[in-house]
Structure 1
Amino acid sequence: MKHAVHLTSVNTPFDTRIFMKECRSLARAGYKVSLVAQAEKGGVHDGVTIVPVQPCPNRKERLTRVVPDVFKTALSLNADLYHFHNIELLPVGILLRVFTRAKVVYDAHENHPDKVAGKAYIPAPIRKLTARSVGALEQITVFCIDAIVTSIGSRLAARFPADKTVILENFALEDMADLFGKIPRTFEGNTKILYTGGLRDHIGSYQVVQAMEHVRTPGAHLTIIGQEIDTPETRAIKQLPAYGKNAEFLGMTDLKGVYEHMHSAAVGLMCLQPLFGYADTSPNKLYEYMSAGLPMVASDFPLWKDLLVRDNTGLAVDATDPKAIAKAIDYLLENPDVCRKMSESGKRLFREKYSWTSQEAKLLDLYERLLSE
C-alpha cells in the first residue's frame, strides 16, 4: 500500500480542501494517508491518520518551530509521496526532494506572491521585495519537485509548467449535499442571511456587518460562522451598530454544521475585497452555496460573474459598498420566487458540473502516474 503524506503548517487538521476532499479521496482509493498539521492530538478519521505537531501561538513561532517540526515529522513517516500546502513549506518541499526518494507535490491554493504583497505585518518598504522573493522561491521549488496542483483554473496554472500542473477546482462535496438535499427549503418569510467567512481582514467581514445597517427587510438577521482573527479591523467590526443587534458571530463549526446553516438560510454572502489576487480565486464557499441551493450575494469579480449572473445562482455586487450589498440582500429576501429559481439552478449545476467527484478523478490520476514512474 502506497503511503501519501499531506503537510500543512497553517491549515486546521480538518480543512475542507486538504482533509475533507483530497485526503479522504485518497484513503477511499486505497492509499495509506497521513496528514501532518498543528493539533493537540492525533487520531484516525475517515481512514486518514492525523499526525500532530505542537500548535503555536503566533506567526514567528510557526516559522521557527512548526515548519522544522513538520519537516522532521515528514521524514519520520517515510512516505512514497509528500503533498505540501503552504508557501512557508516551500523549502521543506525542496529538502524532501533532496533527502528522500519520494515524489513531492506542491498544492498552490492561491497566488501567493500577490497575497504576500498585501500583508500588513510585512513592513511596507520591503513588501514588494518579499513578494518577489516568494515568487522566486516558488519557481525554484517548482523546478525541483514532481508536480503542482492549483485550485484557481488557468490564471494561476499559467504561472507553472503545463506538463507538471494539474488543476483541482474547489468544487463541493457530494456527501454533504446529499445529507441535506432532501430537506425542503423555505424562502417565503425566511430572513436569515449567512456569511461563512468568519471575522477576518480583507474578506468582507466588515462590509457585510456594515451592510446590515442598511438592510430594510423586517426581521433580517445575519449569522456569521468561521474563524476569528484578532486584528484592528475585526475589533472594529464589533463596534459597528449592527453587531450584536441584527448580526451575530457564532464562531467555528464543522462542515456538517456549515451545511445545516446553509440549509436554514435564505441568502449566502461571499464578499471578498478586491485585494491580494482574490479576484482570481475560486473559493470553496461559492460551490458549497450552490450545492446547498443557497442564493448568493457575492463580489462582482469577472471570474465569479459567470457563476452568479450567467448561471443564475446569485447577484454580483461591488463588495466594497455596504449599501450595494444591502440592496442585493433586500432584493432576494423580497423575491422568494427569484431565490427559488436561483436555488434550483445552483443545485442542478452542482450535480452537472461542480461536484468534487470530477476533481477527485484528476487527483487519483496524478498520484497513479507519479507513483508508477
Structure 2
Amino acid sequence: MKKTRILHVSTAHPPTDPRLINRVIPSLTADYDLIALLPAVPKTEGPANARTIWLPYSQRLPVRLLLAHPLVLYYALRLRPSLLHIYDPELLPVSRLIQWLLGIPVMYEVHENLYRKLDQKRRLQGNWLVQQFLRFDAMAQRHFHLIFTEHGYLDTYKNMRHPSVVVYNYPELAFLDTFRRPYMPNPVAPEFFYIGLISFERAFDTLVAALARLKNQVSSFTVHLFGRQTFSDDAMTQLPGFDAVHDNLRFYGYTRQADALPTAAHATAGLALLKPVGDYPESYPTKLFEYMALGLPVITANFPLYRAIVDKHRCGLCVDATDANQIAQALQYLIKHPDDARLMGERGRRAVELEYNWESEAQKLRAFYRTVLQPHRPNKV
C-alpha cells in the first residue's frame, strides 16, 4: 500500500536536534513517506528511515532567506506532499505560499514562545523583524495547525482557527537507555554534567560563583559542559570566581547527544539551571527529563513548574538559579549524600518510565496527523 507523502522542513534547527531526529520524524516514518529538508551541517547524518535533502545553512537569517527558502519552495512543488510540517518561524511566509499553491495543510511546530521575549528580540534584531514575526505568526494562527511543546503556550495562542495539539518534548527511552549506567558517582573527584546552550540566562555566571564556593569544601571536581557558548571568552574570564575554578570546567562545544551522554556515566548530578527570563519559567527544560531517564538526580531552578515535578517525585533539588550559595549547597549535599542521590535518580527514572516518556507523546502526534489529513485527498507515491 502506498504511503501518504509528508514533507518536514527546518532551515534553522541543526539536523542533530534530538526532537527532530530521535522523536518526531522516527515516530512517523512507519505510516508515511516522509521526506526531510534539513540544513547541511558537516559530519551529520539525516534521521533514520527518512529521505533527507540537504539545504544550505548559515547562522545569518538573510543568507538563509536568500539561499535556503527558494529551495524549500522548489522541493515542495516538485515533491507535492500532502502535508507540510515546519519547525521555524522564519518558514511561515514560504509555507503559506506553498499552502496556497498546493492546497495542503501546514503544521507549524512552536518550540519557543517568542511573545515572552519580544523586548529581548527587539534589542538584538530590531523592531522591524519583530513586527514581521507578529504579522506572520498571526497568519499562522489563522491558516495552520499548530503543535506546541508546552501547555504554557496556550495562554498566548488564543486565536487559532484550526485544531492544535501539545506534544511534550519528553525523552525517548530506547535511545537514552543505550547510555544509562548504574549510579556510580566519582567519590574522589565528583563530576557534574550539563548539556544545552551555555549562557548567562541559563545561569552559567551563577554556577561559576557557586563552584568557587564549593571549591572551599571540595578541592577536586569536574563540570562537563556540552553546548554552544553564547558569550565571549573575555566575558567569561571576568566572571567572579572564574580564576579559581577554570581548571574544573570542561568545555566540549556543540556535541551530538550520542557523543556527549557517555560522559554522564559517573556524574553526581545533571544540571538544569535557568534564570527567570523569557519563557523559561513556563517551559520544561528537556534536559530535566533526560537526566531523570539516565537515573541522575537533578539540580534545577525553583520555578513552580519545575518544582511540581521534582517535589512530586523527589528526584532532585530545586534552587534559586540567581543564588550561588543555594547552588553550592545543593552540589555539596549530593556529593556528601550519595545514597540519597542514588534514590533520587531511581525515583526520577521511574517517573519517566511511567509519565514523562516520548511514546505517549508519539501516540498523540500520530493521532493528530490522522485528524489533520482525514478531510484531505492525500498525494500518494
Q: Please say whether Structure 1 and Structure 2 have the same fold, judged by a TM-score greater than 0.5.
A: yes
> Which one scores higher on RCO, CA 8 angstroms, separation ≥ 6?
2
Distance of 1:64 and 1:195 partners within structure 2: 35
Q: Do the aligned residues in 2 keep the contact of 1:44 with 1:50 (CA within 8 Å)?
A: yes
- Residue 235 to residue 89, structure 1, CA distance change in 2 (3 Å): farther
Distance of 2:161 and 2:218 partners within structure 1: 50
SS, match of residue 83 in structure 1: strand
SS, match of residue 214 in structure 1: helix
Pairing 1:140-289 to 2, within 5 Å after superposition: 140-145=139-144, 147-153=145-151, 155-158=152-155, 159-160=157-158, 161=160, 164-181=163-180, 183-187=181-185, 189=187, 191-215=190-214, 216-229=217-230, 231-232=231-232, 235-239=234-238, 240-242=242-244, 244-289=246-291
Distance of 1:2 and 1:68 partners within structure 2: 24
Distance of 2:270 and 2:337 partners within structure 1: 15
Superposed CA deviations along residues 108-139 of structure 1, whole A, max 9, x for unmatched, are 1121222243134234xx3xx86565334212
Distance apart, 1:319 and its partner CA: 0.9
Superposed CA deviations along residues 182-233 of structure 1, whole A, max 9, x for unmatched, are x32213616101111243352223332332212132322111012234x44x
Q: Which amino acid aligns with 1:291?
A: A
Superposition TM-score, scaled by structure 1 size: 0.89
Distance apart, 1:357 and its partner CA: 0.1
Q: Which amino acid aligns with 1:322?
A: A
Q: Do the aligned residues in 2 keep the contact of 1:317 with 1:325 (CA within 8 Å)?
A: yes
Distance of 1:235 and 1:8 partners within structure 2: 33
Distance of 1:66 and 1:208 partners within structure 2: 38
Q: Do the aligned residues in 2 keep the contact of 1:208 with 1:322 (CA within 8 Å)?
A: yes
Equivalent position of 2:378 in the other structure: none
Q: Do the aligned residues in 1 keep the contact of 2:15 with 2:45 (CA within 8 Å)?
A: no
Q: Which amino acid aligns with 1:211?
A: A
- More moved, 333-342 vs 256-265: 256-265
Query: How many residue pairs align between the two structures?
Result: 363
Distance apart, 1:163 and its partner CA: 5.6
Equivalent position of 2:373 in the other structure: 371
- More moved, 270-279 vs 109-118: 109-118
Distance of 2:57 and 2:131 partners within structure 1: 29
Q: Which amino acid aligns with 1:157?
A: L
Distance apart, 1:152 and its partner CA: 0.8
Distance of 1:88 and 1:6 partners within structure 2: 14
Task: Provide the identity percentage.
Answer: 25
SS, match of residue 273 in structure 1: coil
SS, match of residue 219 in structure 1: coil
Q: Do the aligned residues in 1 keep the contact of 2:21 with 2:46 (CA within 8 Å)?
A: no
Distance of 1:91 and 1:200 partners within structure 2: 30
Equivalent position of 1:13 in the other structure: 15
Distance of 1:82 and 1:271 partners within structure 2: 35
Equivalent position of 1:34 in the other structure: 35
Q: Which amino acid aligns with 1:262?
A: A
Q: Do the aligned residues in 1 keep the contact of 2:315 with 2:347 (CA within 8 Å)?
A: yes
Structure 1 residue ranges without an equivalent (≥5): none
Pairing 1:50-129 to 2, within 5 Å after superposition: 50-119=52-121, 120-123=123-126, 126=127
Superposition TM-score, scaled by structure 2 size: 0.88
Distance of 1:188 and 1:226 partners within structure 2: 23
Q: Do the aligned residues in 1 keep the contact of 2:22 with 2:47 (CA within 8 Å)?
A: no
Structure 2 residue ranges without an equivalent (≥5): 376-381
Alignment RMSD: 2.3
Distance of 1:296 and 1:257 partners within structure 2: 21
Q: Which amino acid aligns with 1:187?
A: P
Distance of 2:198 and 2:372 partners within structure 1: 40
Distance apart, 1:33 and its partner CA: 1.6
- More moved, 218-227 vs 350-359: 218-227
SS, match of residue 241 in structure 1: helix
Question: Does 2:316 align with 1:314?
Answer: yes
Q: Do the aligned residues in 1 keep the contact of 2:4 with 2:82 (CA within 8 Å)?
A: yes
Q: Do the aligned residues in 1 keep the contact of 2:314 with 2:347 (CA within 8 Å)?
A: yes
Distance of 2:118 and 2:202 partners within structure 1: 15
Q: Do the aligned residues in 2 keep the contact of 1:211 with 1:326 (CA within 8 Å)?
A: yes
- More moved, 291-300 vs 316-325: 316-325
Superposed CA deviations along residues 317-353 of structure 1, whole A, max 9, x for unmatched, are 1112233222211111111122111101100000000
Question: Does 2:49 align with 1:47?
Answer: yes
Distance of 1:188 and 1:53 partners within structure 2: 43
SS, match of residue 34 in structure 2: strand
Distance of 2:133 and 2:47 partners within structure 1: 34
- Residue 211 to residue 81, structure 1, CA distance change in 2 (3 Å): same
SS, match of residue 7 in structure 2: strand
- Residue 79 to residue 320, structure 1, CA distance change in 2 (3 Å): same
Distance apart, 1:10 and its partner CA: 1.1
Q: Which amino acid aligns with 2:125?
A: I
- Residue 217 to residue 307, structure 1, CA distance change in 2 (3 Å): farther
Distance apart, 1:243 and its partner CA: 5.6
Distance of 1:13 and 1:348 partners within structure 2: 30
Superposed CA deviations along residues 47-76 of structure 1, whole A, max 9, x for unmatched, are 122211112242332344333433333333
Distance of 1:340 and 1:76 partners within structure 2: 54
- Residue 43 to residue 349, structure 1, CA distance change in 2 (3 Å): closer
